[in-house]
Chain A
């Protein structure tokens, strides 16, 4: 079982061009992601902004765009879960976030892959969990669900 990557897939009832705009136009991206972004999504660009999503307003999003292949592929790097403003994440490895867009009958299949977690110090990963007070309750709930399944 991989602890290095997350993969998500979703079918969006919208054409690829629409999805592409939502992913790469700073203002549109900000609208759904919950961030007030400054900058443009061009290869090599650093795009930053204040998170507006409730509970994370103290967090600055800071991504470095890697590659764009219009309406097909977008990738960026960031420090995952960098939600502690008092901690300097700059010396830690980043993860790579990739978006793949494919045309399907219903619209667009979007695959998101975030990888490189194994490069993040285990202590930091553990700390992230300790900050999550609901972790244990959630874990027990999962066990309960697993048992009753």
Chain B
């Protein structure tokens, strides 16, 4: 069973997402945003071998694919992952589904011994 991949099963919908993620810098940025705390460009660019301007451009590509969004806080532009895109209801089920898999594996070992 593969409920997770089914979420992006519609190729028309999935293509821009995969295209946006098909880049090492953008994948690194998504990794940095996974804590869901808003990040500034400076924080996101730290340690990456690219300029802040390049990071901004990458973030805009991710934003067009619906993976991140930005907002202003004072003079700063902050970025965070787009939660709607992540389909939280689905992820919630995935979490519980995984726990059932683990529990049933333990049941199997238990009754087959």
Contact of B91 with A139 in the complex, beta carbons under 8 Å: yes
Closest approach, in angstroms, between the C-beta of A38 and any C-beta of chain B? 19
* Residues from chain B with Cβ under 8 Å of A49 in the complex: none
Contact of A6 with B112 in the complex, beta carbons under 8 Å: no
Contact of A136 with B104 in the complex, beta carbons under 8 Å: no
- B77 located at the interface, meaning its Cβ lies under 8 Å from any Cβ of chain A in the complex: no
- Of chain B, the residue at the smallest CB distance from A81 is B96
Residues of B within 8 A of A (CB): 1, 3-8, 14, 17-18, 21-22, 27, 30-31, 33-36, 81, 83, 86, 88-93, 95-97, 100-101, 103-104, 106-112
Q: Which of B3, B30, B97, B111 has the most CB of A within 10 A?
A: B111
Contact of B100 with A31 in the complex, beta carbons under 8 Å: no
Q: Which stretch (A69-77, A84-92, A141-149) binds chain B? A: A141-149
Contact of A139 with B17 in the complex, beta carbons under 8 Å: no
Contact of A126 with B5 in the complex, beta carbons under 8 Å: no
